Amino acid sequence: MLRVSVVIPTFRRKEALLRALRSLGSQSIDPAEYEVVVVVDGSDDGTLEAAESSAQPYALRVLWQGNRGRAAACNTGVAAAEAELVVLLDDDMEASPRLLEEHLKAHMAGPRLAVMGAAPIVVSSSAPPPTAYIARKFNRHLEHLARAGDLRDRDHSDTTVPAFSASARASTCSAAARSSTARPSDLKTVISSGERRPSPAPISSSPISARM
């Protein structure tokens, strides 16, 4: 039974996309339970051919459209998705093995549940000082957001944010309603010498939840 559709919009990031597809091949749930829909947004660098020839244990569909931007590519992918739950990932992200499992669990709490979290940046020891500084500053911000407490605003007055587990360092952005918001990711991202690329060692996390 197909339970999750993963949508990846991509533009001229062939090698990064292939790493993302490989990471999704190591999920903890049965490959028959999810599909991956790649939307190539007018790339002319061989991305379409490389994705089409990528052998994966899950169902992989590769769509092509003229260059219309990331938002249009996301919409194309979501429209083509066949599962009720849609997970939207960037093409330079690497999913942790329990990404889909954890978000399926999170969505069991209700039919309209937004799940969000942080994708920390990890820099190599050879990264230039400005890159390392930006990564540290961003990760401190994520740690602040991950603290237990309440988030309240005019649209989500009853939103509560539980604490991350001690080992949580990566996470998610998702929603059960396909017609509305962003979707999950459980990721770790690396910046090295100014290049954003997936980490070879993704880390799982506990998601933050908020009722819509």
Q: What is the DSSP string of 50-72?
A: HHHT---SSEEEEEEE-S--HHH
CB contact at 8 A, 21 and 51: yes
Q: Which domain does 144 fall in, by range?
A: 4-211
Task: Using the predicted structure, report yes or no on whether residue 84 has a pLDDT greater than 80.
Answer: yes
Say what the pTM is: 0.66
- Give residues with Cβ within 8 angstroms of 138, minimum separation 6: 120, 121
Summarize the confidence of residues 19-25 as an average pLDDT: 95
pLDDT of amino acid 166: 32
pLDDT of amino acid 106: 84
pLDDT tens sequence across 127-178: 899 988 998 998 888 788 766 554 444 344 343 434 333 333 333 333 222 2
* CATH code, domain carrying 142: 3.90.550
Sheet strands side by side (includes 189-192) = 121-123, 189-192, 195-198
Total domains, the chain: 1
% pLDDT > 70, the chain: 66
> Which residue reads 């039919």 in tokens?
111
